[in-house]
Amino acid sequence: MRVTILGAAGMIGRKLAERIAITGQINGQNVDALTLVDVVTPDVATDFKGTRDAYAADLAEAGVAAQVVADQPDVIVHLAAVVSGEAEADMEKGYRVNLDGTRALLEAIAAHDGYCPRVIYASSLAVFGAPFPAKIPDDFHLTPLTSYGTQKAMGEMLLNDYSRRGILDGVGIRFPTICIRPGKPNKAASSFFSGILREPLNGQEAILPVADDVRHWFASPRAAVGYIEHAATMDTAPLGAQRCMTMPGVTATVGEQIEALRDVAGDEAVALIRRAPDPAVASIVAGWPRDFDTARALKMGFRAEKSFQEIIAIYLEDEMGRTALTGAAT
**Terminal CA-CA length for the chain:** 51
Q: Using DSSP, how many helices (H) and how many strands (E) does the chain show? A: 12, 14
3-class SS string, 164-232: HCCCCEEEEEEECEECCCCCCCCCCCCHHHHHHHHHHHCCCCEEECCCCCCEEEEECHHHHHHHHHHHH
Q: E strands, the chain, where?
A: 2-6, 25-26, 29-30, 33-38, 51-56, 75-78, 118-124, 169-175, 177-178, 206-208, 215-219, 244-246, 250-253, 273-275
Alpha-carbon span 97 to 61, nearest angstrom: 9
* Of the candidates 293, 216, 220, the residue with the CA atom closest to the CA atom of residue 257: 216
For residues 172 and 123, is the Cβ–Cβ distance under 8 A?
yes
* Residues belonging to the active site: 148
Alpha-carbon span 287 to 145, nearest angstrom: 7
The DSSP bridge partners found for residue 250 are 218
Report the b/e string of 246-265 with b at 16+ CB within 10 A: bbbbbbbbbebbbbbbbebb
Strand duo 25-26 + 29-30: pairing: antiparallel
Alpha-carbon span 86 to 78, nearest angstrom: 18
Whether the upstream peptide bond of residue 277 has omega within 30° of 0, thus cis, is: no
Alpha-carbon span 23 to 34, nearest angstrom: 12
